Amino acid sequence: MKILHTKNEINLKLLEHRNASKSIGLVPTMGALHEGHLSLVHKAKGHADVVVVSIFVNPTQFNNPEDLEKYPRTVNEDLKMLEKSGVDYVFLPSVEEMYPQPSKLKFNFGDLETTLEGAFRPGHFNGVGVVVSKLFHIIKPDVAYFGQKDLQQVAIIRRMVEDLSFDVNLEVVPTVREEDGLAMSSRNRRLNSEERKLSVMLYESLVWARNELFAGCSWLEVQEKISHKFNEEPLAKLEYFELVKTKSLEVVSGIDLGSQLRANEFSICTAVYIGDVRLIDNLPI
């Protein structure tokens, strides 16, 4: 495994593989790796000849400076995990390498960036769009791998790829969960023991809501019960709990159980603060 820090270094290395007609898979990360990230790596290794993992905590996607400061950074542990997983290259750039001058470009993703995460994290998806487009231009992957947990991010990147004609395919890998159902996330390590026990509320609420929906309850009734549940827990603060169309992220008020539903046509999405740690999750229907 080779660790590369500059655009020139990785361009030269990957050019050799392209000239040999080898396919390149990219797994973009912000580090603090866990089994969820490794599932993306394993998927990439099964399809691409050369696997590149990027580790870069992107400052432009944090609308809260305190959140950026507290974001876990575990580079030495990350590199050991990636080497053990058989990654070929790790792209580990500095902020100065990725942003030699402040980025002035602004993406407008329309309705996609004004709902759910976009409503609570203004500017977040512009930062995501900028850094992912930079990584696509630098690494020029044939395939890029993303996790289902970041459903809205996947939708944003898919729109960017389609609208700007990036020559890259996107692969979405199912969410990896802890034994109790909590979606694996780099932020989980910030939870104390009490918060960690409570955090299973997210997944339990998603499963309960899905079951109630298919039992014939109205979505409004489901939302009200979920809101009441979180309001009763002092350590939890619910930001949103919404039913959406999976591809467009359009918020809907219910589903027609009498119609022919396509697999994963809808999803339930949520964001919750447990203590001062913000967690997101979703469950496809």
Per the residue annotation, which of 37, 42, 47, 137 is the catalytic one?
Answer: 37
In the annotation, is 47 catalytic? no
Cβ contact 219:212 at 8 Å: no
Run of H or E including 133: helix 124-139
Run of H or E including 36: helix 35-47
In the chain the first and final C-alpha atoms are separated, in Å, by 39
Sole residue written with tokens 């990360």: 29
**Binding-site residue ranges:** 30-37, 61, 147-150, 153, 176, 184-187
DSSP line for 143-210: EEEEETTSHHHHHHHHHHHHHHT-S-EEEEEPPPB-TTSPBP-GGGGG--HHHHHHTTHHHHHHHHHH
Token representation of residue 48: 């691409």
Token representation of residue 78: 């990350």
Residues forming the active site: 37
